[in-house]
Amino acid sequence: MENADHQVLTKLTDWVEDGELSWLCTVVKTWGSSPRPIGSLLSCNNRGHTCGSLSGGCVEEDLLERLQNGELAQEKPELMIYGKTKEESDRFGLPCGGQLHIVIEPIRTKQQIATLRQIVNRLEQRLCISRTVELDTGVMTAKDKDRYRNLELIGEIPTDEFGEPLEKDAKNLTLVHTYGPRHQLFLIGAGQVSIYLAEMAKALDYHVVVCDPREQVIEQWPVEGVQLVCDMPDDAVREHANDNFSAIIALTHDPRIDDMGLMEALKTNAFFIGAMGSTRTSAKRRERLLQLDLTPAEIDRLHAPVGLPIGSKTPAEIAIAILAQLTALRNEASVEADFRATA
């Protein structure tokens, strides 16, 4: 269930503990179009090994060459800027004049290693943690958090007389980066929509859990790389999906199964809870849930019908609508919060 940040930080820590000269690179600012978002990570070592991604590859190659040649961040963090000119953007494959600001940190000390191990252990428990780095010294600390927060670069990046940001100068800057676990998609029911959802969700880096108490159904599950649970859905939700990095979606069309899972799901910290069905079916579902000791506020958390209203009819279309809704929510896109599907 590793996410990309967990993989990068684990690999980095292993390299340093093995005596490798290693660095952690973080995208802290973007301008225009950029291939990777703020917060993207890359770890690399002096042998040319890398883990993670900052761009399509050209930036990584240049950065690694400079690090290996001793041109960058040998003793303390430095700021590197790619795409300052159109020619440079073209050279490094940055689209439409995009620009990347990258903080490069040499990881050398026992204190740094201990802090990284603390972060890795926290992520393995599916919990959030923030890392604070004073860029003029490289000293880092970690603090447990109850929720994810966007990366912050505190302080002003120095500029030249023309107002252009200065590379390598990271004085008076503080980086605060919060890491969280991999998002999880918990599906109640192992039917056709779940199959398409699982395939697509894996491509979006979700850890997928499929729960179905019907043994004969779960035995026929065709998608690899998915965690299968053949338990009653309320028990499974309590055990596997009780955190704010989980989305829970009921998909069986069987109230005896769906409602049992939803009854528990609506009491969890899951960031999204949905159920498949028509508007009429969803209204009846809400009436039933009111009779199961759930409050109106809890039931209001339910997205039903689930998915963006794109006129979806087939299992594949319904899966696309659901994942579009989840993607919009996670990216805080300017789409109506109360999504309703027509599927």
Low-confidence ranges of the chain (pLDDT < 70): 1-2, 32-35, 56, 85, 89-90, 92-97, 161-163, 165-170, 333-343
Give the tens place of pLDDT for each residue, 111-121.
999 999 999 99
The residue to which tokens 């950029």 are assigned: 34
Greatest CA span in the chain, whole angstroms?
A: 72
Question: Can you name the residues that pair with 278 across neighbouring β-strands?
Answer: none
| pLDDT (0 to 100) of residue 98 | 72
Give the tens place of pLDDT for each residue, 311-330.
999 999 999 999 999 999 98
Q: Is residue 336 included in any domain, yes or no?
A: no
Q: Is residue 343 included in any domain, yes or no?
A: no
Q: Which residues contact 233 (CB under 8 A, 6 or more apart)?
A: 188, 211, 213, 250, 257, 258, 260, 261, 264
The residue to which tokens 């028509």 are assigned: 278
CATH code for position 319: 3.40.50.720
Q: Using CA atoms, how far apart are residues 328 and 53, in angstroms rounded to an integer?
A: 23
What 3-state DSSP class applies to 324?
helix
**By C-alpha distance, which of 245, 286, 294, 296 is closest to 269?**
245
Token pair listed for 66: 């400079």
135 and 265: one domain?
Answer: no
Q: Using CA atoms, how far apart are residues 45 and 128, in angstroms rounded to an integer?
A: 26
| pLDDT (0 to 100) of residue 175 | 96
192 and 174: one domain?
Answer: no
| pLDDT (0 to 100) of residue 338 | 47
| pLDDT (0 to 100) of residue 83 | 80
129 and 173: one domain?
Answer: yes
Distance (Å) of CA 193 to CA 102, 183, 248, 250, 310? 41, 19, 14, 10, 16
DSSP 128-154: EEEEEEETTTTEEEEEEESS----EEE
| pLDDT (0 to 100) of residue 334 | 57
User: What sign results for the dihedral spanned by CA atoms 202, 204, 206, 208?
Assistant: negative
The domain boundary, picked from 135, 155, 179, lies at 179
148 and 237: one domain?
Answer: no
Distance of CA 199 to the CA centre of its chain: 17
200 and 260: one domain?
Answer: yes
DSSP 191-235: SHHHHHHHHHHHHTT-EEEEE-S-HHHHTT---SS-EEE-S-HHH
Domain count, the chain: 2
157 DSSP 8-state letter:
P
| pLDDT (0 to 100) of residue 150 | 83
| pLDDT (0 to 100) of residue 148 | 79
